[in-house]
Structure 1
């Protein structure tokens, strides 16, 4: 069985901790105007999953409870593709229902597609991914490949593209080989763990900020908005400070808050 990457393992742990939820769903919705060939779109979605193994990967556990990747052959990878009629007034509620449904990672592939038909010439296509298979940077290549495949299917053909030189499983195996076993004191993984254990020793967790209501026992994942303005000079300076230390601007802002 192919092991999980370390990022996947974190997401798998959280999935097992709280059960299927929408916390790590990545929604992507497109509003399309004009005629839509839904059969071609369904075929194109399958074409993209055939091209990208991560979209046809289940996260399963062996007898000892160790998780791993099980990549389904293209013939067995059936991606959910639903068609439903709705009205503009009901669209938001229908979208929210689709986007908030969680994934069972051991039995469900990490992509669902729902086409909402508002009229014969207006549709909203909602793609819902699980973060264990994609991230924000995945959307551009997904859309590029989807357009290529849809265009080909509209012409009654399968897409013609060069096979990918690297799949996510290749990255996973390379990462494991590079970092090594964290139980091996000579490994890169052990060195990184040792560094952060010393770096974070004594750090107060969580940050003790005054709250207007008690912290709940279980997270509700409900948020709010507080608007404020950062002057351009401050924002530029924050970005430079972060870059000088090999960090991102949000990391520098979090450090300042702490």
Structure 2
């Protein structure tokens, strides 16, 4: 699940879920969904896994929801999507140092890759998550870049604007690491533009903070201040953004 409920004519249920999700109300969004169908159980698990990534809490609830989704999955697509969520939960737990589940994350995403063929709708999200693992756990930026580019192409081919905003931002982050300031600024700006168009508030503050890294003063400070305002509005979510919003050390340039 990435961009459900974001276009005119969507199912009213999906629109309600989207609005709650975009405002960091994952538990409320999950409570609207049926738990006795493969699609409902999977979407519910996805929401609760995302909450773990953004808030560093709710691990057991996400685990229980994921087990339900795995039990209800019958087709390769359903099993692949559940494995993708299993990999993401293990990745989040490792990233936030709750428990080292890196091997589980790799195995689950590998299982998902065996079930979701290249070019399928769910493949772009899987490629993106494999990029996250390569960048942040394996520390292999070249492999991460390749995975993000595949995800970017897939999110374009099967229009998924939310996922596209994520691939823009992560590709821009790698460009910034390589000193490609203009490329990084463009990618961060595209990511922010899409998120603002979608109204995905919980992702807008990180996008603002990322763009601030590529801008000179006073624009950098203005972007960080706006990111901070949204961060506080959403109750300090995502938790990891607090470090990025800390004022730069005196004498250290932001662009």
**Which TM-score band (shorter chain)?**
under 0.3
Between the two structures, name the one with larger relative contact order (CA 8 Å, sep ≥ 6). 1
Given the two structures, how large is their TM-score scaled by the length of structure 1?
Answer: 0.24
Query: Which has the greater radius of gyration?
Result: 1
Higher helix share: 2
Given the two structures, how large is their TM-score scaled by the length of structure 2?
Answer: 0.25
